[in-house]
């Protein structure tokens, strides 16, 4: 091992710099000084005899060699973490640590409740929740950085033969209106009524927005005909805007349970249409499956 041109610490630093985009933020995330980070990257480049980053004023960007090393580095670090969990399992068969992943809406509104119920049954198991885009979560499961995940978006095509996907539950998309809106007095609205509403949506580049638009289009609703009143950066901001009377929105039913219970927004049902998407459990069958991950899968 002494003749390797890198250490595990250097791979962790490389990953941190790549994720943060600059040395200062990477140093803060690792709780070390910026000069120490810079020195380690310089030593790594010297031993490999290749540049790993393109330096700009305030940011850095991986070179092709940097991307290559990061890809293998992620696999090495994931295997190290997997080994650590396997050894810990042998020492403590009843406990352990579980890393769970989830896409944005699922991770924000559904997973905390599920993890709470799981922890009531298995208080000895420590659970870490990571919430990212569906694509990032899927790759983390493939690389062994996450044990198991629940996602609602579309799986990256290149991972379809690597990951095991198990349907878990249906998630309904709800049309929400301000309580004061005229259509909130109706028992059901027509599909054509949608095109007269002012909509509040997520940014057009948002993964969740694309998932919602895709599900709507599959149900015969042309989201390109919507009158977009405003685009916001979060589901919480959208709910507050609807509550304030600024427009209508489509959101996951799991995101509005509190608001429906308090009666501060209206869930408008659409004639002859129930808009649902499938939530799936994702795992990598080729990775070590800890006792903790077996328990949550059964749960």
Convert the pLDDT of each residue in 189-215 to its tens digit: 998 999 999 999 988 877 788 888 888
Q: How much is the average pLDDT of 221-240?
A: 91
Handedness of CA 90, 84, 159, 127 (dihedral sign): positive
Among 78, 110, 132, give the residue marking a domain's end: 78
Strand partners, 252: 173
Q: What is the mean pLDDT of the chain?
A: 87
Domain end point (choices 78, 110, 128): 78
Confidence of residue 78 (pLDDT cuts 50, 70, 90): confident
Q: 178 and 244: one domain?
A: yes
Residues 179 and 150 reside in one and the same domain: no
In a domain, 85, yes or no: no
Count CA within 13 A, CB hemisphere, residue 20.
Answer: 18
The pLDDT, as a whole number, for residue 2 is: 54
Pairing type for strands 148-151 and 276-283 reads antiparallel
In CATH, what number is assigned to the domain containing residue 226?
A: 3.40.190.10
44 and 96 share one domain = no
Domain range for 177:
170-276
Check whether residue 206 and residue 180 sit in a common domain.
Answer: yes
Q: Structural domain tally of the chain?
A: 3
Q: What is the pLDDT averaged over residues 167-172?
A: 88
Q: What is the pLDDT of residue 1?
A: 47
Q: In this structure, is residue 84 part of a structural domain? A: no
Q: Is residue 246 part of a domain?
A: yes
- Report the distance separating Cα 226 and Cα 163, nearest Å: 36
Task: Kindly list the distances between the CA atom of residue 122 and the CA atoms of 90, 101, 237, 244, in Å, as whole numbers in the listed order.
Answer: 18, 18, 34, 41
Domain end residue (candidates: 78, 108, 127): 78
């Amino acid at each position: 091992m002494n003749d390797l041109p890198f250490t595990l610490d250097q791979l962790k630093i490389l990953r941190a710099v790549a994720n943060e985009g600059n040395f200062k933020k990477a140093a803060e995330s690792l709780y070390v000084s910026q000069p120490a980070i810079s020195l380690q990257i310089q030593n790594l480049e010297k031993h490999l005899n290749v540049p790993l980053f393109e330096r700009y004023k305030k940011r850095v960007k991986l070179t092709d060699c940097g991307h290559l090393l990061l890809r293998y580095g992620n696999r090495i670090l994931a295997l190290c973490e997997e080994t650590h969990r396997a050894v810990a399992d042998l020492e403590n068969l009843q406990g352990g640590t579980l890393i769970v992943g989830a896409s944005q809406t699922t991770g924000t509104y559904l997973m905390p409740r599920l993890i709470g119920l799981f922890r009531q049954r298995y208080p000895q198991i420590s659970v870490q929740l990571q919430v990212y885009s569906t694509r990032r979560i899927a790759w983390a499961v493939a690389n062994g950085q996450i044990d198991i995940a629940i996602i609602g978006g579309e799986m990256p095509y290149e991972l379809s033969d690597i990951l095991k996907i198990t349907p878990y539950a249906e998630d309904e998309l709800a049309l929400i209106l301000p309580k004061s809106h005229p259509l909130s007095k109706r028992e059901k609205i027509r599909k054509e009524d949608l095109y007269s509403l002012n909509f509040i949506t997520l940014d057009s580049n948002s993964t969740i927005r694309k998932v919602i638009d895709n599900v709507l289009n599959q149900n015969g609703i042309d989201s390109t005909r919507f009158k977009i009143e405003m685009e916001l950066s979060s589901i919480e901001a959208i709910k507050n805007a609807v509550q304030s009377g600024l427009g209508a929105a489509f959101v996951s039913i799991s995101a509005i349970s509190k608001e429906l219970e308090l009666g501060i927004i209206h869930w408008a049902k659409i004639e002859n249409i129930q808009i649902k998407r499938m939530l799936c459990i994702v795992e990598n069958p080729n990775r070590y499956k800890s006792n903790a991950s077996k328990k949550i899968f059964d749960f």
